[in-house]
Amino acid sequence: MTYTQDGFNELKGDIEKNGQLVPILLRNGKVLDGRHRLRACVELEVPIAYDELGDIDDEEALDIVISNSLSKATNTDAAKVEAYLMCKAKGIRNKDMPTKFSRLNINYVRKLSFIEKQNGKYLTAILRQNQIRLHNKEFDKIEDYGTINGVWRVLKGNQKMENTVVEVVPEPASREDYETDLESYFNNAAAEAEYWDLYNLGKESGVNLHPDSPVGKKIAGLVKWKHRSEH
């Protein structure tokens, strides 16, 4: 990537404030990617982080350089992680981060914050465009994930699975799969409609409000009581 003097000065300033977030890539001891970061670190006289790739061939080396160049574009996940970590290092609050970097919106900030709380090393992996091997508890399988949304979705789903209390009565495949005669029970179209609204809301949140379950019956009773004067 070509840097103007202003661009280099900005890079140097970021390293001075936040440290070197991305290591210099070496190929058999020679710089493959990160010459500007290396120059900035030398001028700042700060410790330099290297990542030795070893004796890789020319094709693989070219792929790495191109990939790293693309990752520096502001619309990539690596760039979003970099911006988030820079804000964290500067002590910027999550809600204020989108005002500092246009590449960050509050939705991404929340996802990155959640991922960091689960395991900060996951952010480092995304920053370096590495895959993260995770156990997807919902589908009971192990897969590799390399995007913010992918990692967040699995971690969030796993957390939801851990916090879900399994009901003895299974979740029905459809509304018709129940024994309670709700139409006769409510005898009120508005009450029945409200119950189903609550049922769908519960289903989206992982809560079983099946009409035949203890919780479902309790909710139905409360809805019926609420609409008692409408008969």
Rounded Cα gap, residues 113 and 39, in angstroms = 31
- Residue 24 belongs to a domain with what CATH number? 3.90.1530
Structural domain includes residue 14: yes
Residues 65 and 146 in one domain: no
Mean pLDDT of 20-44: 90
Residue 149 resides in a domain: yes
Q: Is 176 inside any structural domain?
A: no
Q: What is the reported pTM?
A: 0.44
Range of the domain at 201: 182-230
Q: Is the pLDDT of residue 108 over 70?
A: yes
Q: Of 72, 91, 113, which residue constitutes the final position of a domain?
A: 72
Average pLDDT, the chain: 82
The domain tally of the chain equals 3
Collapsed DSSP state (helix, strand, coil) of residue 144: strand
| 94 pLDDT tier (thresholds 50, 70, 90) | very high
Residue 69 to residue 209: CA distance in whole angstroms: 51
| Residue 205 placed within a domain | yes
User: Does one domain contain both 65 and 5?
Assistant: yes
Tell which of 163, 192, 217 closes a domain.
Answer: 163
Element (H, E) at 32: strand 30-33
Burial classification of residue 217, based on how many CB atoms lie within 10 Å of its CB (0-12 exposed, 13-18 middle, 19 or more buried)? middle
Check residue 72 and give its pLDDT: 60
Could you report the per-residue pLDDT of 135-173, keeping only the tens digit for each? 888 888 898 888 999 999 999 999 888 876 544 444 443
